[in-house]
Structure 1
Amino acid sequence: MAKKEMIVAKFNFAFSFLKQLADELVGLIERDLAEFTDRGFTATKKTALQAAIDAVENFPTDEQLQGIKISTTQTKDAARANLETQMRTVFLAAKNTSGEKTGKFREFGDVNLTKQTDSDLVRSAKAMIATATKYVTDLGGEGITAAKIALMTTTRSELDKAIDKQKNAIKDRDNATEARIILANELYDLVVRYDDTGKDIWVTKSEAKYNDYVIYNTPSGTDESVVPPVTP
């Protein structure tokens, strides 16, 4: 399967500046409504333009989505740390009751917890819970009880859910990044369309009004060249 082509913005400036350009365009069209009406601009088209502006403005920012991703990661890390602590205690109890060179000790799993991925740790914890339940009488002398095993089961479940939430937050951010660009490009196309109309209206009538509709597609959104805009 071919790799999906990455969607990129059609403009060089910030999304916030695109919103500003669009708001200014709405004001210019209101000022020149008679001329735009003559060019086929209708109330329906005005509504569509405003809807495109609102869609970009109301879309969650990358900062918001990144914050959600960070929060889910922090929750996942805390659950993992908690589970690792509980598992180490069980390993120590197993070592003290059976010896770490025995087959019984090996049943409790891999002691190198920090090297395991999150998913591997969840699987290791499941195996440990089953083994600890099996040998709970032996482990009781080291303070491992059915209640503590049940607590580990809960912690394991919390980590499992936290992993899923983190993955979803990462996917949501990636998908939102693409969706935001699509909405912004749709708005940019409208801005270019109506700015081109405005320039065509005023190209032979008013240099000042013509320049009102000029878009500088640069990072700053301003004319960064030494050559002045072309005038009629």
Structure 2
Amino acid sequence: MNYIYPEYFPNQDNTLITMKKKEAFRLYKFSDATLVTKGLEKIAFIKRDQIEFDRYNVVSVKREGLKTELTEFSDRETDIEALQEQVESTERKDKKAEELRVAIRGVMSCVELNFNVESAKYRKFGTDTLSRQTDAELLITAKRVVRVGTELLPILVNFGLTLVELDAITAMADDFTDLIVDQRLEIGERDIQQEDRVEAGNTIYSQLVKYTNLGQSIWIDNDKAKYNDYIMYNTVSGEAPATVGEV
């Protein structure tokens, strides 16, 4: 039986197992830009030889349909754009993280004025590894600082700590949470776009290969120049590979 990923099939206990979708990969070695230019070039040759292609039911409607697919493909957002959006979301998140660390250090300055750094009450804030904490750890620390700071506020208010500062940390932590989610969404969206782009490019490339192979078979015994027009090299440059000794 052929399964379509993601696959669903019963385990021995009749529960369903979900198989991870196979990662999409390009069928062609050259760039997407080269796929577009090479594709349009081959479509122009097909249009020139439309009478010969009609015999094999590769009519003008199919030719123009492929051209439309290429145009839509070239209009897609590129990975460079998607990456920049991801970078910008990461920068916003990291900036908020630093603001949160600065605010927490401000609270700890007040704490240190009353409690020794080795005391249980000081260590209860859990900020000793603040600069090295991950995003998730920083969020937990921020909530803990607010919680413990509120608990000890009657004492620490005499050393400059205010409820306003603690509320500000809570607000920053909420904003930081939103920015973490935004970054994850940007990463996920980029992954989806990359996959969709690869699959769309593969569909176009596969169709081009069929048409160019047909073009070669049409002209192989009749016209060498036209035969060469339909050669499509699957190399990084999209051109013929260099031969030994070639400069």
TM > 0.5: yes
Match of 2:167 in 1: 150
Shift of the alpha carbon at 1:189?
Answer: 0.4
Map 1:1-232 onto structure 2 (within 5 A): 4-226=21-243
Write the distance in 2 (CA, Å) between the matches of 1:195 and 1:24. Answer: 11
> Contact 2:100–2:169 (CA<8 Å) still a contact in 1?
yes
Write the distance in 2 (CA, Å) between the matches of 1:168 and 1:115. Answer: 24
Write the distance in 2 (CA, Å) between the matches of 1:111 and 1:156. Answer: 18
Structure 2 stretches of 5 or more lacking a match?
1-17
Query: Aligned-residue CA RMSD in angstroms?
Result: 2.0
What is the TM-score when the length of structure 1 is the normalising length? 0.89
Write the distance in 2 (CA, Å) between the matches of 1:53 and 1:142. Answer: 67
> Contact 2:47–2:63 (CA<8 Å) still a contact in 1?
no
> Contact 2:50–2:59 (CA<8 Å) still a contact in 1?
no
- Are the structure 2 counterparts of residues 115 and 225 from structure 1 closer, same or farther at C-alpha, using a change threshold of 3 Å? closer
Write the distance in 2 (CA, Å) between the matches of 1:143 and 1:28. Answer: 79
- Are the structure 2 counterparts of residues 140 and 208 from structure 1 closer, same or farther at C-alpha, using a change threshold of 3 Å? same
Shift of the alpha carbon at 1:155?
Answer: 1.1
Q: 1:117-159 CA deviation, whole Å, 9 max, x = no partner? A: 1101101101111122222232223332222211111111121
Q: Identity of counterpart residues, as a percentage?
A: 27
Letter in 2 for 1:214: I
Write the distance in 2 (CA, Å) between the matches of 1:130 and 1:54. Answer: 57
> Contact 1:94–1:105 (CA<8 Å) still a contact in 2?
yes
What is the TM-score when the length of structure 2 is the normalising length? 0.84
Write the distance in 2 (CA, Å) between the matches of 1:62 and 1:193. Answer: 28
How many residue pairs get aligned? The number is: 227
> Contact 1:55–1:183 (CA<8 Å) still a contact in 2?
no
> Contact 1:90–1:144 (CA<8 Å) still a contact in 2?
yes
> Which structure has the highest helix share of the two?
1
Structure 1 stretches of 5 or more lacking a match?
228-232
Partner of 1:20, secondary structure, is helix
Write the distance in 1 (CA, Å) between the matches of 2:242 and 2:145. Answer: 67
